[in-house]
Structure 1
Amino acid sequence: MSLPICVTCGVQYSSPRDDCPICEDPRQYVPVEGQQWTSLEALRTGHKNAIRDEGALVGIGTEPRFAIGQRALLVPHSDGNVLWDCVSLLDDETEREIDSRGGLHAIAISHPHYYSTMVEWAHRFDCPVWLHSDDRAWAMREDPKLRFWSGETHDLGDGLTLIRCGGHFAGGTVLHRAGDLLAGDIVQVIPDRAWVSFMYSFPNFIPLGESEIRSIEAALEPFAFERIYGAWWGTVIPRDGKGIVQRSAQRYVDALNGNLP
Structure 2
Amino acid sequence: MPKYICETCGTQFAETHVTPERCPICADERQYVGRGGQRWTTHGDLLARHRQRIEDDDGLLAFGVDPGFAIDQRALLLPTDAGNLLWESVSLVTPEAVEAILARGGVERILISHPHFYSAMGEWSDALGGVPILLHEADREWIQRPHPAIETWSGDALRLSDTVTLIRAGGHFPGSTVLHWAAGPRPGGALFAGDTPQVVPTRRHVSFMYSYPNLTPLPAAEVRAMRDRLAPYAFEDVYGYTWGRNILGGGRAAVDRSFARYLEAVQDTAVTLTAPSAGSTPAARSARA
- Residue 273 of structure 2: aligned partner: none
- Are 1:28 and 1:204, in contact at CA under 8 Å, matched by a contact in 2? yes
- Are 2:169 and 2:226, in contact at CA under 8 Å, matched by a contact in 1? yes
Deviation at 1:258, TM superposition (A): 7.3
Q: Distance in 1 between matches of 2:268 and 2:167?
A: 30
1:183 is aligned to 2:186: no
- TM-score scaled to structure 2, two decimals? 0.87
- Residue 9 of structure 1: aligned partner: 9
- Residue 157 of structure 2: aligned partner: 153
- Residue 106 of structure 1: aligned partner: 109
Q: Distance in 1 between matches of 2:127 and 2:52?
A: 16
Deviation at 1:158, TM superposition (A): 5.4
- Residue 60 of structure 1: aligned partner: 63
Q: State the AA in 2 paired with 1:47.
A: H
- Residue 51 of structure 1: aligned partner: 54
Deviation at 1:77, TM superposition (A): 3.2
Residue aligned with 1:9, SS: coil
Residue aligned with 1:214, SS: helix
Do the aligned partners of residues 23 and 79 (structure 1) sit closer, same or farther apart at CA in structure 2, a change above 3 Å counting?
A: closer
4+ residue runs over 4 A deviation: none
- Residue 241 of structure 1: aligned partner: 251
- Residue 176 of structure 2: aligned partner: 172
Deviation at 1:137, TM superposition (A): 0.2
2:24 corresponds, among 21, 26, 43, to 21
Write 1 or 2 for the structure with the bigger share of strand.
1
Query: What do the CA deviations read for 1:92-114 (whole angstroms, capped 9, x no partner)?
Result: 11111111111111000000000
Do the aligned partners of residues 79 and 210 (structure 1) sit closer, same or farther apart at CA in structure 2, a change above 3 Å counting?
A: closer
Q: State the AA in 1 paired with 2:149.
A: K
Do the aligned partners of residues 40 and 158 (structure 1) sit closer, same or farther apart at CA in structure 2, a change above 3 Å counting?
A: farther
- Residue 195 of structure 1: aligned partner: 205
Query: What do the CA deviations read for 1:189-222 (whole angstroms, capped 9, x no partner)?
Result: 1122211111000000000010011111111111
Do the aligned partners of residues 199 and 79 (structure 1) sit closer, same or farther apart at CA in structure 2, a change above 3 Å counting?
A: closer
Do the aligned partners of residues 78 and 249 (structure 1) sit closer, same or farther apart at CA in structure 2, a change above 3 Å counting?
A: closer
- Residue 138 of structure 2: aligned partner: 134
Q: Give the count of matched residue pairs.
A: 259
Instruction: Provide the alpha-carbon RMSD of the alignment.
Output: 1.4
Do the aligned partners of residues 257 and 19 (structure 1) sit closer, same or farther apart at CA in structure 2, a change above 3 Å counting?
A: same
Identity, % of aligned pairs? Answer: 48
Q: Distance in 1 between matches of 2:80 and 2:255?
A: 26
- Are 2:82 and 2:164, in contact at CA under 8 Å, matched by a contact in 1? no
- Are 1:80 and 1:101, in contact at CA under 8 Å, matched by a contact in 2? no
Do the aligned partners of residues 24 and 232 (structure 1) sit closer, same or farther apart at CA in structure 2, a change above 3 Å counting?
A: same
- Residue 274 of structure 2: aligned partner: none
Consecutive unaligned residues of structure 1, counting only runs of 5 or more, are none
- Are 1:77 and 1:158, in contact at CA under 8 Å, matched by a contact in 2? no
Q: State the AA in 1 paired with 2:167.
A: I
- Are 1:77 and 1:105, in contact at CA under 8 Å, matched by a contact in 2? no
Consecutive unaligned residues of structure 2, counting only runs of 5 or more, are 183-188, 270-289
Q: State the AA in 1 paired with 2:59.
A: A
